A and B are shown apart, each in its own frame.
Chain A
Amino acid sequence: MSVTEPSPATRSTTPAPPPRPPAGRPAGARWALRAAGLAGALVLLLALTVLSLGFGARPLTAAEVWHGLLDSDSAAYHVVHGMRLPRTLLGLLVGVALGLAGGVMQALTRNPLADPGLLGINAGASAAVVTAITFLGVTAFTGYVWFALAGAAVVSALVYTVGGGRGATPARLALAGAALNAALYSYVNAAMILNTVSLDRMRFWTVGSLASAQTDTVMKVLPFIASGVLVSLALARPLNALALGDDQARALGARPARVRVASIVAVTLLCGAATAAAGPIVFVGLMVPHLVRALTGPDLRWMLPYCAVLAPVLLLGADVLGRLLGRPGELQVGIVTAVLGGPLFLYVLRRRKVAGA
């Protein structure tokens, strides 16, 4: 601070804050605020994890959960390890996957409506799973993973090529996705109508649930989701550049075509694995990025980590709530996220001017 400048009248002992730049908060303070927010979100996630482990037909205290996790002689060991741990872990993984996938897709398509559901990727996974059930007689839950992944991969490749490949525009991607979506769900419906066994399995799978989670399922989807997470976080910077338009992005050293392909790969890994494990949970990927953008602004280097933390908060919270509301049974998590997330999404839309609307 120069001597000629009048020093700010401060009564505190802390050093005076640097003069505000004309627009917004100073960069350092903004960084600190966002980092603090992220830390807060992580604490929230931890609390919900404990809650999810402790809540159920037999409620456990935090201490009991802790013993149940570590001590194999503890009375809670079987409850925690047998049922609630896989379920909670799956909720975490699926939440991270859907949140990141939604964030990457909305950035990629520059489309506020982009969502794994809307671009047909969930539908691809569903169609593959219904094929597996109806025609190949797959019954094991873990058998779905491969089919769902393959379906998601085929559909995202198809959306991408049909939607224009290199020169994909948001409108064309969205249209391609909607087209495939409707066509694939017609196929799914046809299979369900012609085969009651498929109907009986699919109607429980398509609502999205964590209830049948097993350690096996978790381990099977973990590598896919982990690699998807890594790819998406690495994409934050190039996708930021891409938001300026292809020419600007190229000038900044990003390669638009390569970034798009990598984004599609990441979204496929994330959505395919999440959908296989928990069924098509549509709403999280659409809503979380919208909420996060209200908190962090459009910078993906902040947005994506926030998405990765807040989406599982939403998903676990919804799962616990579903167990609470549906007693003695439960409401499937996909239903709770839809019913809960809907009003929240509408509220954000009404409060904020999303994309000029």
Chain B
Amino acid sequence: MKPVTTEKTAREKTAPQRTGTGGAPAGTGADGPSGPAPARVRRPRRLGGAGAPPGGTLRTLRPLPAVSLRYRPRTLAAAAGCLFAALAVGVLSVGSGEFPIGPAEVLRTIAGSGTPAQDFIVNELRLPRVIAALLAGAALALSGAVFQSVVRNPLGSPDLLGLTQGASTGALVVVITGGSSAALAGGAVAGGLLTGLLIFALAWRQGLHGLRLVLIGIGVMAMLTGVNGYLLTRAKLMEASRAVLWLTGSLDGRGWAEVTPLLIAVTVLLPVTVVGCGRALRMAEMGDDAAHALGIRVERVRLVALGSAVALASFAAACAGPVAFVALTAPQLAKRLTKAPGPNLVPAACMGAALLVCADWAAQNAFGARQLPVGVVTGLLGGGYLVWLLARQRRAGRL
């Protein structure tokens, strides 16, 4: 969903920029005098990341003479804001429940100086669930951002490419054979990874191409949906209801045993994806030829990035189930906040964590006594959001 920028809006935006902050070369260091300028050239708020000028200002931070870090203030602020929101709601979520605990108490207990009762409730019962939400949200969103960047289509998220369906197939097999919940997670990871491998193998033809990957992913997904439906009819009713709960995506009763594998996966794969592939993926969005000319090994980067995206989605599904819509919407929401080009990996991950934590909090608290699985909330919210987005863009005459 890349809104086409009309010539008019493009001119509107480039013109004031030349006279304003954009004119000052990035990284000149002392920008004291240019303080009032941004207020004067403030752009009208617009929807759609791609319609905005690419990325806003670039700044450079030089903590040491030999080190320079380039960043976009807006991107940094967006990521930090999402992360803060995610952690804040996480603390609230840990504090809420049958025994409410204040945010300050929660923080103190996490730090290790609470009463034994608080320690048990917070650290053993509620914290794993919140951490699972944070990590699964971040992992799904990161995976979605990578896929959407490679496929160059907002629909190219792991939920639509059959990866989460594959994870579900693995999990269903375990449920039907009466396996434990640890085995279920293992089955989900195995199913997701195998599906990813299958899709790559089928789509590979001198490289991975966007649309072919989507089409093949959809073919694989359709097959797996059939298999999953069959497995569900083979289960006893009790097992089937357990399976459906898992298939919807639920964080209920997650303990450290379920969270630890995801924690390890994220710790390993997040740096690989963000540091190893982030910049190259942004370059590759300009087109394969341009990226090649800039010295990017497009195919290798894609393979690494997609491989870790598959693994992230599989581990997230193993812990939380195939939660709908986080992988699809979080990268797009992040993009709208940062207005920066490229996959926006870090802001997307922060946004995903925030989304899933909020959705889980809502699932536990917003529907009265009845607790819903988190996947229902993300599905309804995500669907509503996309519909609203499409309606807004239609009114604005975009897309």
Contact = CB atoms under 8 A, between A and B. Distances in A.
Contact of A332 (B214, B215, B233): B233
Given A176-B390, A193-B241, A357 B209 contact: yes
B227 A186 contact: no
A182 B155 CA distance: 12
A334 B229 contact: yes
Contacts of B391: 162
Interface residues of B, number: 56
Contact of A193 (B229, B237, B248, B382): B248
Given A172-B390, A339-B223, A207 B229 contact: yes
Interface residues of A, number: 61
A335 B228 CA distance: 9
Contact of A331 (B160, B230, B244): B230
A39 interface: no
A350 interface: yes
A203 B233 contact: yes
Interface stretch (A82-90, A99-107, A341-349): A341-349
Contacts of A332: 229-230, 233
A225 to B, nearest CB: 23
A113 B379 contact: no
A176 B377 CA distance: 19
Interface in A308-357: 331-332, 334-339, 341-343, 345-346, 349-350, 354-357
Nearest to A195: B241
A345 B212 CA distance: 12
A183 B379 contact: yes
A182 B226 contact: no
A286 B226 CA distance: 14
Contacts of A176: 386-387, 390
Contacts of B379: 182-183, 185-187, 189
B390 A163 contact: yes
Most buried by B among A164, A171, A186, A342: A186
A207 B1 contact: no
A179 B387 CA distance: 6
A70 interface: no
A186 B376 contact: yes
A204 B237 CA distance: 11
B123 to A, nearest CB: 29
The winner among B210, B324, B379 for most chain A CB atoms within 10 A is B379
Interface in A134-191: 158, 162-165, 167, 169, 171-172, 174-176, 178-187, 189-190
B382 A183 contact: yes
Given A175-B154, A176-B390, A357-B209, 9 more contacts: A172-B399, A183-B387, A186-B377, A189-B244, A196-B237, A338-B225, A342-B226, A346-B202, A354-B212
Shortest 9 CB-CB contacts between residues of A and residues of B: A183-B383, A338-B226, A186-B379, A342-B223, A179-B386, A207-B229, A357-B212, A357-B211, A190-B376
Interface of A: 112-113, 117-118, 158, 162-165, 167, 169, 171-172, 174-176, 178-187, 189-190, 192-194, 196, 199-200, 203-204, 206-208, 282-283, 286, 331-332, 334-339, 341-343, 345-346, 349-350, 354-357
